[in-house]
Amino acid sequence: MKSARLFVACDLPAHVKTRLAAIQKMLQQSGADVKWAEPHNLHLTLKFLGATDREKIPEIKKALDALSRGQKSFVAQLDRLGTFGPLSAPRVIWAGLRDETPLRKIALAIEKGLLPLGFPQEARRFQAHLTLGRIRSSRNRVALADLLANAQETFKEEALRVDNITLFESLLDTAGPVYNDLHRIRLL
């Protein structure tokens, strides 16, 4: 295999994945046509690299090591649920963070650090979020919107320690993507 489908993300603690899986399960009761993210795959994407020549992986690791020096771990607050697209016709369901500033700084450092390796800067502004599911059709969309509105109203904040920057490889499988941890940097 000559290329790998790569992304850089923060892996999540097990308790956060468990909490988000419970929210997904509740939303699944709508019967909506949603491709739900597997709870063990939930993460905070910092940079999607896409199809990348495997020979570049050592350089990527080295760049990530360099830019992570001095980066400190921090506690973020998972504080809301939301959608890309209006609630009446969402495309993506996500969980978001109260203050994105620390993650935005890390994402910007990654953008700048990987630019010399040929990875272009993202055109869109970074928005920290955890994708819970992608809507595939309008089936039971109203029921989903009702459950999501209720979940948003009752959402309780959750502290989340961001303590890693991880290079993942995404392997596409008929059962869904499998994420392999290629390089994990622990933040102090």
Q: Which residues are catalytic?
A: 43, 129
Side chain identity, residue 9? A
> Phi, psi (5° rounding) for residue 185?
-110, 125
- No. of helices (H) and no. of strands (E), the chain: 4, 9
Q: How far apart are CA 177 and CA 162, in angstroms?
A: 23
Q: How far apart are CA 161 and CA 36, in angstroms?
A: 24
Q: Partners of 83 in the beta sheet? A: 93
Q: How far is CA 107 from CA 101, 135, 138, 142, 168, in A?
A: 10, 26, 33, 35, 15
Q: Partners of 45 in the beta sheet? A: 9
CA dihedral in degrees (171, 25, 17, 52; nearest 10)?
A: 20
